Amino acid sequence: MRRRRSVRQRLLVLIVAVMTAGLTVVGVVSYGVQLASLNERVDRELQQEVEELGNIAQGGPAQDGEPYQDVQDLFFAFLTTAVPGDDEAMMGLVEGEEPVYSGGARTFDIVDEEVQAAATSLQVEPGRPRMTELRTQGTQLRVLVADVQLPGETRAARFVVANDIGQQRAEIRQQALTYAVLAVLVLAAVAGLAHLLLGRLLRPLNQLRAATAATTTEDLSRRVDVSGADTDVAELVVRYNEMLDRIEAGVQQQRQFLDDAAHELRTPLTIVRGNAELLSADDPQDVEATRRLVLDEVDRMQRLVDDLLMLARVQRPDFLRIGPVDVTEAAVEAMDRVAALGDRAWRLHASAEGTIRMDRHRVLQAVVQLAANAVKFSQPGTPVEVSSAWALTGSPSAVGAVAAGAREARRYLVISVTDQGIGIPEDQLERVFERFSRADNAGQVEGSGLGLAIVRLIAEAHGGAVGVASLEGEGSTFWMALPDLVGQDRWVPAGRDPHEARPG
């Protein structure tokens, strides 16, 4: 099976390939530009020599301003005074005369037979010099041949200028070779550095791959360390860790749901089965009593299942339907609902005014649950007070809400329910909001132990918190603080003392 290349290898190959292409393009373009520039410069220098020859022919120094009549004299006067370039040589060819050429040491011989033959055989029109290249004497010559005609001169004459362009091209090729060697070294250095940097950059990705391979439905606890990293790959790992947190929390909730359901449904099912087994079908009273007991247990299981489903729905995205709610109207509506829960001296203290964004139905459900809890653990006719108030940042109520886990906000809507019931032992206050947790002094009071857990989850879904203050034998105050996270421009007018709630 063909082994797949890793991301690190692919990126390394891509980086090297891109750099190779870039350096190659730069080298080829630079080489072409240098060659073109060399040809242009050499041609310009060759043309310049022809132009200088023409200027002298019109009136050289030895002629006192008069034009030359003898072409051999012209070549001799020009070639003995002109200074050719380092790679340049000049020659004058006159019919029936020995060649006249410039002095100086050169890498080639301008009077070589091949050069003369090429110069004489080239078709050149008067006034229109021609350029050609000639491979001779181990080099490449750039040759310019001009036909020279003077008034009264009948002999054929040609002026030849040759430049050793081969040697200069060899220098450019040597430079290109040096560039290629340096480019290879640079590529090797870049590849090594990129290999190290990519290893460091992609280390979280490798750890992520290992973590995904090791993650199973039985073990979702493994996380990838991204400390000190600040890249897109690290951000991906952070999101992976957060995703695993959500998955692990969901799996834990499912397991908790199954454990809770199995634990709580076992007792009523055992009761139903036991009474059904002992039922005497011939005894109408026994049948009726068993029937009532079975119906009571079924109702209790129904309430338990409803509560468990409520706990399971809390983590769903559509659990809350947030919208603006008038807090005064919500307090009055809550009072209308709780007043029917039992024979108590119900009181409402709704000092909060304005609006807050929350799920009206869920919050009212939580308030009703707190009120129902107060009814369970208090005597008929005793007072039960439902209150609502704003708590501004920095106030004892707001500090208590944040300490209990509420999100930071500029103010909080604090809803509390106070009763004069049996209270809660001080050492058990911390666990009353846990699932299936009941105080030791609850006795035989009916309940599943899920009501306060539901209240806590509703508050936390809003970014809030819950708490309780209680004295055993005197009563309890359960409170719920909801942060006003949106619409915080609705402040209490200046100069007006806001009503304070007192959670805890």
Asked which of 45-49, 56-60, 226-230, 421-425 is least confident by mean pLDDT, the reply is 226-230
**Within a domain: 342:** yes
What is the rounded CA–CA span in Å between residue 375 and residue 382? Answer: 9
What is the rounded CA–CA span in Å between residue 501 and residue 504? Answer: 10
**Within a domain: 227:** no
- Residues 338, 303: one domain? no
What is the rounded CA–CA span in Å between residue 321 and residue 33? Answer: 71
pLDDT at 444: 52
**Within a domain: 101:** yes
pLDDT in tens, 194-208: 888 887 777 777 777
- Residues 346, 305: one domain? no
| Number of domain units in the chain | 3
Sign of the CA dihedral with 334 first, then 339, 344, and 350 last: positive
pLDDT in tens, 297-349: 777 677 667 767 776 676 676 778 899 999 999 999 998 888 888 889 999 99
- Residues 237, 168: one domain? no
**Within a domain: 212:** no
Instruction: Pick the more confident residue, 503 or 392.
Output: 392
Do 452 and 442 contact (CB within 8 A), yes or no? no
**Within a domain: 202:** no
**Within a domain: 405:** yes
Query: Does position 491 have pLDDT exceeding 50, yes or no?
Result: no
* N-terminal to C-terminal alpha carbon distance within the chain: 67
pLDDT in tens, 207-223: 777 777 767 766 776 77
What is the rounded CA–CA span in Å between residue 294 and residue 274? Answer: 10
The CATH number covering residue 336 comes to 3.30.565.10
Helix (H) or strand (E) run with residue 140 in it: strand 139-148
Half-sphere exposure of 236 (CA within 13 A, CB side): 12
pLDDT in tens, 132-162: 999 999 999 999 999 988 887 888 999 999 9
**Within a domain: 75:** yes
pLDDT at 443: 52
Phi, psi of 243 (to 5 degrees): -65, -45
What is the rounded CA–CA span in Å between residue 15 and residue 202? Answer: 15
Phi, psi of 326 (to 5 degrees): -75, 120
pLDDT in tens, 392-401: 999 999 999 9
What is the rounded CA–CA span in Å between residue 214 and residue 217? Answer: 10
Q: Of 361, 306, 367, whose CA–CA distance to 341 is shortest?
A: 367
- Residues 242, 386: one domain? no
Print the domain residue range for 144. Answer: 7-172
**Token representation of residue 413:** 């809507």
Query: Beta-carbon neighbour count of residue 406 at 10 Å?
Result: 25
Instruction: Pick the more confident residue, 398 or 226.
Output: 398
What percentage of residues in the chain have a pLDDT greater than 70? 81
- Residues 477, 332: one domain? yes
pLDDT at 64: 64
**Token representation of residue 126:** 């008067």
Phi, psi of 204 (to 5 degrees): -60, -35
- Of 313, 338, 366, the residue that ends a domain is 313
The CATH number covering residue 164 comes to 3.30.450
- Residues 337, 303: one domain? no
